[in-house]
Amino acid sequence: MEHFLQTWGYAAVFVLALAEAICIPFPSEITFGFGGALAAEGHFALAAVILVGIAGEFIGSLIGFAAGRTGGHALVTRYGKYVLISPDDLERAHRFLASRNDWSVAVGRALPLVRTFVSIVAGIAEMSVARFSVFTLIGTSIYSAAVAGGGYALGTEWHKLAKGFTAAGFVLLGLAVVALAAFFVHRWRVLKGSH
């Protein structure tokens, strides 16, 4: 990935940011952290790394949102029972976003790991495209500027930044696994009790 960034420059920043935003596992902390470090060495302009990365992330988020919006309900209706998710769960996700207000999207887009899936969830919950666009742009801008700026400040030591984000991602992943396990146990009991 580092070689790809060094060779293809801003185009690589855009492609990797776009891919990460549509749930392809390219760690954005490497894209932005290393991009910032390359800017510190004079290979890139820091502002350009941030702006190109924001553009890639934003377009990728819109693609993820559209996938959730157009296919989410149909997939849950057809296959949700196999993973213990029902259309009622989608309604709850919609109510969750509505009750937490639009800032939940901005916060989610600024958090490691969580940020990858926020767009699809917002699409499934049928958030308005305009509101989603504004709040995903806010969260994406904060994240991109913070990580690229951190990489710029650390220069050749930028791996420390990536390591910190990776550790935070593992903590969030662990919490997500526990939450999913609790959800599946609860859903299994509910579905078993309704028969």
pLDDT digits (tens, 9 = 90+) for 128-143: 899 999 999 999 999 9
Nearest C-alpha neighbor of 33 from the set 173, 150, 177: 150
pLDDT for the residue 170: 46
For residue 59, what pLDDT band results from cuts at 50, 70 and 90? Answer: very high
For residue 86, what pLDDT band results from cuts at 50, 70 and 90? Answer: low
Q: How large is the average pLDDT for residues 171-192?
A: 55
Residues of the chain with pLDDT > 90, as a percent, come to: 20
For residue 159, what pLDDT band results from cuts at 50, 70 and 90? Answer: low
AA identity, residue 103:
W
pLDDT surpasses 70 at 151:
yes
Q: How large is the average pLDDT for residues 49-73?
A: 89
Six-digit token pair at 71? 């296919």
In the numeric block, the tokens 């806010």 are attached to 138
**Choice between 87 and 59, residue whose per-residue pLDDT is larger:** 59
Q: What is the 3-state secondary structure (H, E, C) of 97-125?
A: HHHHCCHHHHHHHCCCCHHHHHHHHHHHC
Helix (H, G, I), strand (E, B) or coil at 151: helix
Q: What is the pLDDT of residues 18-34, one digit of tens each?
A: 988 887 767 777 788 88
pLDDT for the residue 47: 94
pTM of the model: 0.70
Domain extents for the chain? 2-193
